[in-house]
Every structure is written in C-alpha cells, then in structure tokens.
Amino acid sequence: MLTVVILQQFLDERELRAWGWRIPFAVGAGAAVISLWLRRTLKETSTAETRADHEAGSVAGLFKHHSAAFITVLGYTAGGSLIFYTFTTYMQKYLVNTAGLPAKRASLIMTGALFLFMLMQPLFGRLADRIGRRASMLWFGGLGTLGTLPILLALKTVTSPWVAFLLITLALAIVSFYTAISGLVKAEMFPPQVRALGVGLSYALANALFGGSAEYVALNLKSRGLESAFYGYVTAMMAIAFLFSLRLPKQPTYLQGDH
C-alpha cells in the first residue's frame, strides 16, 4: 500500500497503467527472496521422535486423531480471513466505489490505517498474554459480530477522510485481537508431527474460500444491488468465528511441552 501511495505521488495515471504497476510486484519479489533467506536460517522444532512417527505429516494421521482441532481452526480462520481482507484489501475499493472518495485520498487513508495496524500487533499480542488467547479470540469474534455492520454502514456515507481513517482503524483494532496471535493459536491445536499440515491446510482452505474471495463476493453483490448482503455475510462469519472460538481450550494443548 505504501508503494502504491508513493507511486501515485510521482507518476500520473498513464504512467501507472503503462509500466508503474510493475514496481510493486518487483518490490514483492525482493521481499520474497528475503523471506526465503530468513526461513532457511530458522531452526526446525521437530525432533527425531516426531519425524519417525509413521503418521507424521499425513492427512490420514491428521484426520484420524485431530479432526476436531482441524474443524475448529477452519471455523475461526474463515471469519478471521474474511474480515481481514474486507478491511484491508477490499476497503480501498469500498472507499472509492461506495463512499465516493478520490482514489489518492483512499490510498492515504489506508496507508495510515495499515501502518497503525502493524504497530498494534505486539500490543494486542501482549494483551493476549495477559487475558489469555482464548479470551482474545472471543473478544475478536464478539466485537467483530457486533461492530462489522455499523462500521461498514458508517463508511458507506463517510465524507471526512479523518472519520474514515478512525473507523477503519477501529475495525483493524478488532481484527488485531485475531491477527496478533492467530499463528500461535493454530499451532497450539496440533502436535508436532501434524502441526505444519494441520495449520497449513486449514488456513489454505479458509483463506481461499472466504478471505481470498472477499473482494469478488463484495463487488459481485454490489453489482447486483445487494451490497448490504455483504455486510450480513461478514457479520454471520464473525458470529461463526465466535462460536468456534468457544471450542478453544482454556490452556494451550500443545507447544508448551514441545522441544
């Protein structure tokens, strides 16, 4: 988002369409190389004992012993992914197409909100350490269920960029109850021998079906004159996330005893 804002300040629309759109992809490619290098330097947490398990990393082993954990993670990740993409990826288009704000102003609003969102993560992670990860997930699901509809309705008619910024920041604060700890909460649901598969598969399915499709669903409903149905869809998925969060153990099931 920051890259887009910077490009908008130095390139006109013709230049952006001709070649400027390639720059964010180049930046992303460089970041991917750095991420790969960082990943290669991390130590694996698995042991010879867990790797020797004949069901380690197998779908059969995952669903034979940990199907309940898989369904739980799938359930709250669906809502988490959907609301995350709604207030990040899709929100700039929403500000332009629905609220009627200029594209450059919408980019500035989103850049500021996402920057604060980044700074929120360690704060909400620390909060989760104090109140418990299950409680944090319940706050996420509850506030998301109650707050999504009024926030989206308020943004629909917003005229002040500062009000839009505050509303989106509020939404992202709710999302932070989830994003600050989501990776850890998912990992705690599975033992080492199926952890990567359990977390990866549940995340991939939920993210592809609900998070990745958020913009498509929102724009499709808007084109049919049913934009308000999208608000209800996100709200319903947040209610589902809340219900699945109730299934989380009060104390971590795994990780604490891992070596």
- pLDDT of 9 reads 67
Instruction: Find the farthest-apart pair of alpha carbons in the chain and give their distance in angstroms, rounded.
Output: 61
- pLDDT of 32 reads 81
Q: Answer positive or negative: Cα dihedral of 143, 132, 207, 123.
A: positive
* pTM for this predicted structure: 0.80
C-alpha span between 175 and 179 (Å, rounded): 6
What mean pLDDT value characterizes the chain?
85
- Mean per-residue pLDDT, 67-74: 86
C-alpha span between 30 and 122 (Å, rounded): 25
Residue 259 pLDDT > 50, yes or no? no
Residue 49 pLDDT > 80, yes or no? no
Q: Using one digit for the tens of pLDDT, what is the confidence trace for 127-143? A: 999 999 999 999 999 99
Please name which of 202, 230, 227, 208 lies closest in space to residue 75, comparing C-alpha atoms: 202
Candidate from 84-88, 102-106, 237-241, 248-252 with smallest mean pLDDT: 248-252
Hey, what amino acid is at 226?
Answer: L
- pLDDT of 171 reads 97
Q: Which CATH class is domain 66-245?
A: mainly alpha
Please name which of 158, 156, 210, 207 lies closest in space to residue 186, comparing C-alpha atoms: 207
C-alpha span between 92 and 109 (Å, rounded): 8
Q: Which residue has the tokens 């709604």?
A: 86
What DSSP state is assigned to residue 137?
H
Please name which of 255, 258, 198, 189 lies closest in space to residue 61, comparing C-alpha atoms: 198
**Percentage, residues of the chain above pLDDT 70:** 82
